[in-house]
């Protein structure tokens, strides 16, 4: 790939990094919430509860990538943990619709959330983000390499294998009928929790409604669990959330 304004080549790490100097001009909190403006200026339906807002300071442009903000609720003052399972299900369903749309144009669909001022949150209206990008990020590429090697060795999906090994162990945090949450012994960060669907599925496009609903339920339980640690002393706990998925059916969707 030729170097451009969106991607800068790091010769030491041997990977492309996103370059977005225009984002230095963001002025979070200095004017009316841009997501509330979607409502007040009639840019979304009067009964809309979740919607997509084009990123006002996108780190790249088509055909390199597209960036969106995923609005979780029309209520500016609600937090993620104050949403109901049905409301979060609307969010996971919107994630699915967004994946299907962006996957027609980009190899990687990154859906994520940065929650907490200490890790960079500048707008407090409940929201997450989504990028469609024309490259596979290094961490996702490394995971896919593991999948390909495991398939070559005839061992099947490594995520299915790990999920089976951790099921019912002390590392299983919470589970429901179609999803499980683990805090594996090999995580890099404290409280790093991995959510796996029980069924092998590569991306959100292939999720059934009951699985999207169960994902909503589990996400709420995990984040509420974070906030309950040490009798709530760290609430609301900052967190990073990322959905890892690819189009290749050998991959295993996880959060």
Q: What domains appear along the chain, each with residue ranges and CATH number?
A: 1-255 (3.30.428.10)
- Point out the least confidently predicted range of 66-70, 151-155, 192-196, 233-237: 233-237
Residue 192 exposure: Cα atoms within 13 Å on the Cβ side: 9
Contact 221, 180 (CB under 8 A): no
- Of residues 57 and 26, more confidently modeled: 57
Q: What are the tens digits of pLDDT across the range 214-240?
A: 999 999 999 999 999 999 998 999 999
- Cα separation, 15 vs 199, in Å, equals 32
Helix, strand and coil in the chain, % to nearest 5: 35, 20, 45
Give the global pTM. 0.92
Q: What are the tens digits of pLDDT across the range 94-146?
A: 999 999 999 999 999 999 999 998 888 889 999 999 999 999 999 999 999 99
């Amino acid at each position: 790939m030729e170097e451009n304004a969106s991607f800068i080549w790091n010769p030491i790490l041997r990977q492309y990094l996103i370059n977005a100097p225009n984002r230095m001009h963001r002025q979070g909190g200095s004017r009316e919430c841009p997501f509330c403006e979607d409502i007040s200026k009639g840019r979304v339906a009067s009964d809309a509860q979740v919607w997509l807002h084009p990123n006002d300071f996108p780190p790249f442009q088509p055909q390199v990538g597209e960036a969106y903000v995923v609005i979780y609720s029309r209520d500016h003052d609600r937090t993620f943990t104050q949403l109901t399972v049905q409301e979060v299900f609307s969010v996971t369903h919107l994630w699915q619709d967004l994946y299907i749309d962006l996957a027609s144009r980009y190899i990687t669909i990154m859906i994520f959330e940065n929650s907490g001022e200490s890790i960079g949150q500048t707008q407090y209206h409940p929201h997450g983000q989504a990028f469609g990008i024309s490259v596979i990020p290094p961490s996702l590429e490394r995971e896919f390499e593991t999948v390909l090697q495991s398939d070559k060795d005839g061992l099947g999906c490594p995520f299915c294998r790990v999920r089976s090994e951790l099921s019912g162990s002390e590392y299983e945090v919470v589970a429901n009928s179609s999803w499980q949450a683990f805090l594996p012994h090999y995580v890099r960060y404290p409280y790093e929790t991995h959510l796996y669907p029980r069924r092998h599925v590569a991306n959100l496009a292939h999720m059934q409604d009951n699985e999207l609903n169960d994902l909503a339920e589990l996400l709420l339980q995990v984040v509420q669990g974070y906030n309950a640690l040490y009798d709530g002393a760290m609430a609301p706990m900052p967190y990073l959330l990322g959905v890892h998925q690819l189009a290749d059916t050998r991959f295993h969707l996880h959060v």
